[in-house]
Amino acid sequence: MNASDSIILLRQHLIDPEICIRCNTCEETCPVDAITHDSRNYVVDADKCNGCEACVSPCPTGSIDHWHVVPKTQAYSLQEQFGWDELPPQQAAPLETPDAIRPSGNALPGEMPAAPSASSSTHAPWSAAHPYLNLYSLKEPVTATVAGNFRLTAEDAESDIRHLVLDFGTQFFPLLEGQSIGIIAPGTDAAGKPHYLRMYSVASPRDGEREGYNNLSLTVKRVVQDHEGNAVRGVASNYLCDLQKGDTVQVSGPFGANYLMPNHANAHLLMICTGTGSAPMRAMTEHRRRQTAKAQAQSGKLMLFFGARKPEELPYFGPLRKLPQEFIDIHLAFSRVPDQPRAWVQDKIREAGPAVSQLLREDTYIYICGLKGMETGVMEALRDICKEAGMDWPSLHQQMVKQGRFHVETY
Partner 1 sequence: MSTIDYNETIPNNVNLSEDKTLQRALEHWQPNYLNWWRDMGPTGSTGHDVYLRTAINVTPEGWAHFGHVKMPDYRWGIFMAQAEENRKINFGENKGRDAWQDIPGEHRANLRRIIVTQGDTEPASVEQQRHLGLTAPSQYDLRNLFQINVEEGRHLWAMVYLLHKYFGRDGREEAEALLQRNSGDTDNPRILEAFNEETPDWLAFYMFTYFTDRDGKFQLNALAESGFDPLSRTCRFMLTEEAHHMFVGESGISRVIQRTCEVMRQYGIEDPEQVRAKGVIDLPTIQRYLNFHFSVTIDLFGADQSSNAANFYNSGLKGRYEETKRDDDHLLKGQSYRLIEVSNGALVEKEVPMLNALNEVLRDDYIRDSVAGVGRWNRVLEKAGQSFRMVTPHKAFNRHIGGFSNMRISPEGQVISEAEWLSKVRNWLPSEEDRAFVASLMGRVIEPGKMANWIAPPPVGVNRQPVDFDYVRFN
Per CB under 8 A, the segment of 2-10, 15-23, 128-136, 298-306 that binds partner 1 is 15-23
Output 85 or 156, the one with its CB closest to partner 1. Answer: 85
Q: Write down the least CB distance from residue 118 to partner 1, Å.
A: 11
Measured between alpha carbons, how far is 175 from 181 in angstroms, rounded to an integer? 9
Measured between alpha carbons, how far is 298 from 262 in angstroms, rounded to an integer? 12
- Binding residue count for partner 1, defined by CB under 8 A: 25
Measured between alpha carbons, how far is 310 from 41 in angstroms, rounded to an integer? 44
Q: Which residue in 1, 39, 47, 192 binds partner 1 (CB under 8 A)? A: 39
Rg of the Cα trace of the chain? 21
Per-residue contact track with partner 1, 155 to 194, x per CB under 8 A?
----------------------------------------
Per-residue contact track with partner 1, 97 to 136, x per CB under 8 A?
--------------------x-------------------
Q: Write down the least CB distance from residue 62 to partner 1, Å.
A: 4
The amino acid sitting at 107 is A
Q: Which residue in 1, 79, 85, 156 binds partner 1 (CB under 8 A)? A: 85
Measured between alpha carbons, how far is 342 from 180 in angstroms, rounded to an integer? 32
Q: Write down the least CB distance from residue 45 to partner 1, Å.
A: 18
Output 139 or 227, the one with its CB closest to partner 1. Answer: 227
Three-state SS for 393? helix
Site for partner 1 in 256-295 (CB under 8 A): none
Could you tell me if 345 and 306 are in contact, meaning their C-beta atoms sit under 8 angstroms apart?
yes
Could you tell me if 374 and 368 are in contact, meaning their C-beta atoms sit under 8 angstroms apart?
yes
343 binds partner 1 (CB under 8 A): no
Measured between alpha carbons, how far is 188 from 192 in angstroms, rounded to an integer? 5
Per CB under 8 A, the segment of 17-25, 214-222, 270-278, 345-353 that binds partner 1 is 17-25
Output 54 or 92, the one with its CB closest to partner 1. Answer: 54
45: left (phi over 0), alpha (psi -120 to 50) or beta: beta
Output 55 or 243, the one with its CB closest to partner 1. Answer: 55
Which residues contact residue 114 at a Cβ distance below 8 angstroms, ignoring those fewer than 6 apart? 11, 102, 103, 104, 409, 410, 411
Q: Which residue in 2, 4, 6, 23 binds partner 1 (CB under 8 A)? A: 23
Output 72 or 372, the one with its CB closest to partner 1. Answer: 372
Quick count: other Cβ atoms within 10 Å of Cβ 377?
A: 16
Quick count: other Cβ atoms within 10 Å of Cβ 304?
A: 24
Q: Write down the least CB distance from residue 78 to partner 1, Å.
A: 18
Closest C-alpha among 172, 177, 187, 185 to residue 136: 172
Burial class of residue 280 (count of CB atoms within 10 Å of its CB; 0-12, 13-18, 19+): buried
Site for partner 1 in 44-83 (CB under 8 A): 53-62, 65
Q: Which residue in 5, 21, 172, 266 binds partner 1 (CB under 8 A)? A: 21
Output 25 or 292, the one with its CB closest to partner 1. Answer: 25
Quick count: other Cβ atoms within 10 Å of Cβ 77?
A: 13
Q: Write down the least CB distance from residue 375 to partner 1, Å.
A: 8
Q: Which residue in 83, 174, 354, 394 binds partner 1 (CB under 8 A)? A: 394
Q: Which residue in 29, 74, 250, 291 binds partner 1 (CB under 8 A)? A: 29
Closest C-alpha among 334, 198, 349 to residue 275: 334
Output 65 or 177, the one with its CB closest to partner 1. Answer: 65
Which residues contact residue 109 at a Cβ distance below 8 angstroms, ignoring those fewer than 6 apart? 1, 2, 3, 134
Q: Which residue in 2, 4, 6, 25 binds partner 1 (CB under 8 A)? A: 25
Output 178 or 370, the one with its CB closest to partner 1. Answer: 370
Measured between alpha carbons, how far is 314 from 66 in angstroms, rounded to an integer? 29
Per CB under 8 A, the segment of 24-32, 190-198, 219-227, 237-245 that binds partner 1 is 24-32
19 binds partner 1 (CB under 8 A): yes
Site for partner 1 in 350-389 (CB under 8 A): 376
Quick count: other Cβ atoms within 10 Å of Cβ 19?
A: 15
Q: Which residues bind partner 1 (CB under 8 A)?
A: 18-19, 21-25, 28-29, 39, 53-62, 65, 85, 117, 376, 394
